[in-house]
Amino acid sequence: MRFLKNSKLLIIVMAFILVLSACGSNSTSSNSNSNSNDEEAKTDEEQVTIVYARGKDATGATDVMVEEFMKQNPNIKVEFREMPTDTGAQHDAYVTMLNAESSEIDVFDIDVIWPAEFAQAGYVLPLDRFIQKDGINMEDYNQGPVSAATFNGKQWAMPKFIDAGMLFYRSDLASEAPKTWDDLMAQASELKGQDGTQFGYLMQAKQYEGLVTNAVEFVASYGGEFIDENGEVAINSPEAIKGLSKMVEIANADFVPDNITTFTEPESHTAFIEGQAPFIRNWPYQYSLANDEEQSKIVGNVEVAPLPEGDAGSAAALGGWMAAINNYSEHPQEAWEFLKFMTGPEGQKIDAIEGSHAPTLPALFEDEEIIEANPFFGEEGFQNALEGAVSRPVAPNYPEISEIIQINVSKAISGELTPEEAAAAMEKEMKEKLVK
Ligand code: GLC
């Protein structure tokens, strides 16, 4: 009797173990089939699935990076989670998720303006122990983005690529790039309507983060700034007002689309690759897209130049993205392996060749294949734009500062406020809100 009782128990325990192990293999791999043979079951058990989140990558570079990583790391499956393209909407989606301490994503891209906020909120994992263990030398990286991701002496993200606002122009329509904003206006008026174009110039003028970067460029090209080097609000100056006035004039010109205040990067890059305008202000990825035969009607006809000059010269806004690990990730080690690949030389090379993303590892600017894919990376104008790129105000409550700029610049564009009134309103509101 006793034996019978024990063997019954054994059977129950074994059945239980079987059920548990079946559940286990399902949860470690989302595509686990029924265990058709032992080997497959083993692979399923060993494979860890991590989720990588970022905005839509119109260039396709991310797919290539993910594929290459999985080829080299068969034990890690990377699932892609597409987030809103608009950086502000993407930010809000992460904040909602991470405030709830969700582990649904493991690795995610963060805009250069977020690290301080995300570190302080405890959303991201400090990377120092991984960096040390794998002997990564942070001095190999461009120090601008490295310090943007350093907060309280720790490294919270690894730089992926640097962005700087540039002028892209159709070499088949314009013989040379306009040198000043006034030259741009003259050429845009003249070329609008030629060779199937409908507009002269494309920019990003919707009320969102991209508007801030366009405003930073206009203001800085006339010698103004939003916040000065001592951290004081400086937007209410004659120089800044001149820059804002030029921005308002161009956003209301008859050579930009009537609905330019609905344009973010995708609306503007799409119009450009469809051949609708000779000039666009955008980030470097525009180059790869313009030369993508599957999407673009202007392949081979695009050149890159610094943005036009105001009284004080040409100015590019500093942008860019980094990769971080969710503090609540259940797979931090695997997340790190993927992050390390993406932000290391191999991942950045793929991103530069496939997506025209400017590397944060300066040594990669010597790489022949990268320069062949992006001849403008090797040009002085581009290197100067990267080096001199103007940061947006640095503050742990940056989203509030950005909102003040977005609202008031939008009101200036719509004519609800004059540029002078918009500058005075921004000065007042930023002084109230800026946390140093
Ligand atoms: C680009 C930049 C980013 C910026 C955004 C604005 O993605 O890299 O820094 O905030 O554009 O739209």
pLDDT tier at 17, thresholds 50, 70, 90: very low
Residue nearest to atom 11 of ligand 1 (CA): 210
Instruction: Answer whether 436's CB lies under 8 Å from 395's CB.
Output: yes
pLDDT at 262 over 70: yes
CA of residue 178 to ligand 1 center, whole Å: 24
3-state class of 279 per DSSP? strand
- 165-181: per-residue pLDDT in tens? 999 999 999 999 999 99
Average pLDDT for residues 91-108, to the nearest whole number? Answer: 98
pLDDT at 385: 92
**pLDDT value of residue 44:** 57
Query: From the CB of 112, is ligand 1 less than 6 Å away?
Result: yes
Contacts of 334 (CB under 8 A, 6+ apart): 48, 50, 75, 76, 106
Res 43: pLDDT: 56
Nearest-10 crossing angle of helices 398-414, 419-433: 170
Confidence of residue 45 (pLDDT cuts 50, 70, 90): low
CATH topology for 49-163+319-389 is: D-Maltodextrin-Binding Protein; domain 2 (3.40.190)
Nearest CA to ligand 1 atom 9: 319
Class of domain 164-317+394-435: alpha beta
Report residue 412's pLDDT band, with 50, 70 and 90 as the boundaries. Answer: very high
Angle CA 416–419–422, to nearest 5:
70
257 CA distance to ligand 1 middle (Å): 21
Average pLDDT across the chain, whole number: 91
Structure token pair of residue 6: 């024990």
* Ligand 1 within 6 A of CB of 210: yes
Query: In the predicted model, what is the mean pLDDT of residues 295-307?
Result: 97
Same fold, 49-163+319-389 and 164-317+394-435: yes
Reply yes or no on whether the pLDDT at 399 is more than 70: yes
pLDDT tens digits for 340-395? Answer: 999 999 999 999 999 999 999 999 999 999 999 999 999 999 999 998 999 998 77
* Domain ranges within the chain, ordered by starting residue: 49-163+319-389, 164-317+394-435
pLDDT(83) > 60 = yes
Q: Based on C-alpha coordinates, what's the Rg of the chain? A: 25
| Any atom of ligand 1 within 6 Å of the Cβ of 109 | no
Q: What is the mean pLDDT of residues 261-279?
A: 98
Confidence of residue 231 (pLDDT cuts 50, 70, 90): confident
Over residues 321-340, the pLDDT tens digits come to 999 999 999 999 999 999 99
**283 Cβ below 6 A of ligand 1:** yes
> 3-state class of 399 per DSSP?
helix
Give yes or no for a contact between 404 and 426, defined as CB atoms under 8 angstroms apart. Answer: yes
| CB distance 114 to ligand 1 below 6 Å | no
Measured CA distances, 244 to 33, 291, 413 (Å): 59, 33, 9
Q: What is the average pLDDT across 8-35? A: 42
